[in-house]
Structure 1
Amino acid sequence: MSNSKALLVIDVQAAMFDEADPVVQGEALLQKIKSLIAKARQNGHPVIYIQHTEGAGTPLEQGSNGWEIHPSIAPLQGDAIVEKLTPDSFYETQLHLLLQEMGVKELILCGMQTEVCVDTTCRSAFSHGYSVTLVSDAHSTWHSPQLQAGQIISHHNHVLRLFATVAGEEEIWTGGA
């Protein structure tokens, strides 16, 4: 299968939506990502899920309920799932090889966490030679002691323009991005 574009869904796992401390605007995020996945599939582009793994006893412990991809955007049979241990989806994973085998040259990025895994993967994809589009309204995070989540997202949408085209979900696969 050869596709020039692929959708990378980064760390949209059940633990990120825990009722005690859910990601900011989580339901809206899931709706945007559902739309992106549907559009990718309609256009024949692969959807690749990135799944972060942490140690035993953590919310993202491999095999735990929190570690699972969020059920509302669950992978279909045949979708690739790449497990990672660091914020960089390329570091010590098979992602680059998988993308090369698929003939992917362009990546559309969405998911979590804006200032960690989304940022790092965006920069790494650029460094690996991919054309990158960051979906400006389809990544999220939590408030920090210094900044509100919206400020973090806005800041990263601005900074990551050095490494990616930044476009809204409605612009993806419509000619705008």
Structure 2
Amino acid sequence: MIHIEEIYEENVFTIQGNIVHKRIDNEKNYYNKDKKVENSLPLWSEKYGLYGVADTVEFEGDKIIPVEFKSGKKKNKLADDIQLAAQAICLEEMLFTEITFGYIYYDKSRKRREVILDEKLRKKLKDTISSVRELLIRKNTPQPVNDQRCNNCSLKNYCLPDLTRRIENYLKELK
């Protein structure tokens, strides 16, 4: 809805995320003998047509490690892993290197979760890029899913997932 219908609404969760990211944006880059840390690093990939900003990228010896910050508690979430993989492929293209892992840092629990950037995750990323690109080209907003993600979504009042489900059920009953 944000990119196709140009609808965006803030709620407590989007504001919490913005606060976490503003804190990262305001942190200074730092260096010590073992590690260089860059915050708010612009990223892009010509090959995949991606661009964005990495929250943090750590340079440790010959390793380049993207770190994505999330405002919630530590959890396994495929969408977060795909976002991290997108950052990694941008860095790989920009810096002519290979990145095998990264981290998701959860602000609420103050814990990191390592994400292995294997072929399975990279394929899921490429499939997601293709699917999203197709939606954008067709200007086709996907149908609401009406699951637990909707409870805290700032766009719930615009896509009306519960109403959509009730209408679908009603139409099935008419048949």
Q: Tell me if TM exceeds 0.5.
A: no
Higher helix proportion (structure 1 or 2):
2
Higher relative contact order (CA 8 A, sep 6+): 1
Higher Cα radius of gyration: 2
Query: Structure 1 length as normaliser, TM-score?
Result: 0.28
